[in-house]
Structure 1
Amino acid sequence: MKCKILEYRPDFVRLLLENTKPAMANAYRRVIQSEVPILAVDEVIFFANTTAFFDEYIAHRLALIPLRTPRKVLDFGEDYAVRLKLDVIAQEEQEIVYSRQLESSDPEVYPVNPDIPIIAMNKGERLSLEAIARLGRGKQHAKWQPVVALGYRYYPIYVFDPQKCIEAKELVEKTNAEAIHENGMLRVLDAPYHPTLEKILKRCALDFGEPAVKVEYDDSR
């Protein structure tokens, strides 16, 4: 089996698996969701909470904030813990507490997104707590799943009418996508390598339907 990275962003990865079967792709999906260890808030100690929210509610929200998990943490093992402190007294009539206000004992461990709202506080209310983040796996609890959404699909091969999908035809020529002429249609063999082209073909399929655009699948990729 071969694996290629088609697209990579800090919060998104798209891979191509070749010479394999759907069962293997599904196995990787399940392993990533359940067996990859990451940090998540596992315990919260409250020192003061005069807000309208129960301690359990706030603890639940803290546990679902994704934390950056550096490689060194995996070397330390599952006994390693990071402490995240929060001590806020609301100064405004209504004040939102965000994930960026958590102070970490390890500068390399912090919320992936600094703008996640935790709670809303009224003026004068206080929230003081210490959240303890530990390593865990998705099979123990969903808060330790390293991904929000993870799926797979068969490798698509688009066959379209260049007379109707003019924009797709022009993009095929510009990007040098691998395409062959077949009975007046264009068969695109490498659409997943060209995300913009694939989006245009999907839009064309919605506009014209079959037979303007047909999709075939390769179950070995």
Structure 2
Amino acid sequence: MEIEVRSQNDDEMIFIVRDAEVPFINAIRRVAMVNVPKIAIEDVNIIVNDSAMFNEVLAHRLGLTPLVSDLDALEGLSLPEDDDWEEFSNGIMFYLKEVGPKVVYSKDLKSSDSRIKPVYDTIPLVKLKEGEKLDIEAVAKVGYGKEHAKWIPTTVCAYKQYPEITFNEDVEIDYDCAQACPRGILKSDKRSKKIKIVEEHENSPLIGVEECAMCKSCVRASDNGYINVGFRPNDFIFRIETDGAMPPKEVLLKACDVLGEKADKFIRFSEEGGN
């Protein structure tokens, strides 16, 4: 198996995987979404809430606020499978004490651990009118996406099989199929009597045929079957985007580690005769 990174930043990673199989790639996708640990607010103690927002809605907004959850932040914290995970005091404490009039933002959450804080400062939580008060204590804990959406580290985790475009040289060139491409990856070159695949795409790290959506608009536009759109069965384009809580590379590496542990556990289970 070969991996080639097309682009990578703090929130997004796009890479090409070659010589792999669909079950393996899909297992990586599923594990990255539901088995990679992430930090989110779990318990909320609302002492005072004079705002118009119901307590349950406010607690839900706090839970969905992305918190820094990189490897350094996760170190030393209890996991859901640990016996002491459910203890209220066993987590990262957050405090929110405000008086209106003002809009309360995520930056107003005060953390007991300087490493673990909201990823973005400008997420609006609630609006307070004149004299309205808000006094909240909350505990953030490590969890998994299989339990709740707030613990899913990825906003996008998807793959597609590597596109492949071929031309039927036995029939007359059909220039209309190039005009039908919604992504503009086909270009008619009547001087050289060819249809070319555009290599560079604006605002996209993908090159050449990789930008093809395999919608087959070009195939439907060709009356004589000049163009064919398919895919390479063992090559994939994989995209991971996060909400900023974790770098996408860390999500991928952790997902591979978890998948490896699951495979080892299954092998031991089989070797021991199902005991």
Under a length normalisation based on structure 2, what TM-score does the superposition of the two structures give?
0.63
**Which SS does the other structure have where 2:159 is aligned?**
coil
**Contact 1:68/1:112 (<8 A) preserved:** yes
Aligned residue runs from structure 1 range 95-134, under 5 A: 95-134=102-141
In structure 1, the residue matched to 2:96 is: 86
- 2:195 alignment partner AA: M
- Whether 1:152 and 2:159 are equivalent positions in the alignment is yes
Structure 2 residues not aligned, in runs of 5+: 79-84, 168-172, 236-275
- Say if 1:23 and 1:119 are closer, same or farther in 2 by CA, change over 3 A: same
**Percent of aligned pairs sharing the same letter:** 27
Cα distance in 2 for partners of 1:124, 1:12 equals 42
Deviation at 1:133, TM superposition (A): 0.4
In structure 2, the residue matched to 1:217 is: 231
Cα distance in 1 for partners of 2:211, 2:146 equals 38
The answer to which structure, 1 or 2, has the higher relative contact order (CA under 8 A, 6+ apart) is: 2
Cα distance in 1 for partners of 2:218, 2:109 equals 48
In structure 2, the residue matched to 1:195 is: 206
Deviation at 1:210, TM superposition (A): 3.6
Deviation at 1:5, TM superposition (A): 2.2
Deviation at 1:105, TM superposition (A): 1.4
**Contact 1:157/1:218 (<8 A) preserved:** yes
- Say if 1:169 and 1:60 are closer, same or farther in 2 by CA, change over 3 A: closer
Deviation at 1:27, TM superposition (A): 0.6
1:109-135 superposed Cα distances (whole Å, 9 cap, x missing partner)? 111222212122222211111221000
Cα distance in 2 for partners of 1:67, 1:196 equals 34
In structure 1, the residue matched to 2:48 is: 48
- More displaced 10-residue stretch of structure 1: 9-18 or 131-140: 9-18
Structure 1 residues not aligned, in runs of 5+: 171-180
**Contact 2:219/2:229 (<8 A) preserved:** no
- Whether 1:6 and 2:6 are equivalent positions in the alignment is yes
- 2:71 alignment partner AA: R
Aligned residue runs from structure 1 range 17-28, under 5 A: 17-28=17-28
Under a length normalisation based on structure 1, what TM-score does the superposition of the two structures give?
0.76
In structure 2, the residue matched to 1:174 is: none
After TM superposition, where is structure 1 displaced by more than 6 Å over at least 4 residues in a row? 160-164, 188-191, 198-202, 205-209
**Which SS does the other structure have where 1:154 is aligned?**
strand
- More displaced 10-residue stretch of structure 1: 56-65 or 67-76: 67-76
2:194 is aligned, of 184, 187, 195, to 184
- Whether 1:138 and 2:145 are equivalent positions in the alignment is yes
RMSD: 3.5
Deviation at 1:30, TM superposition (A): 0.6
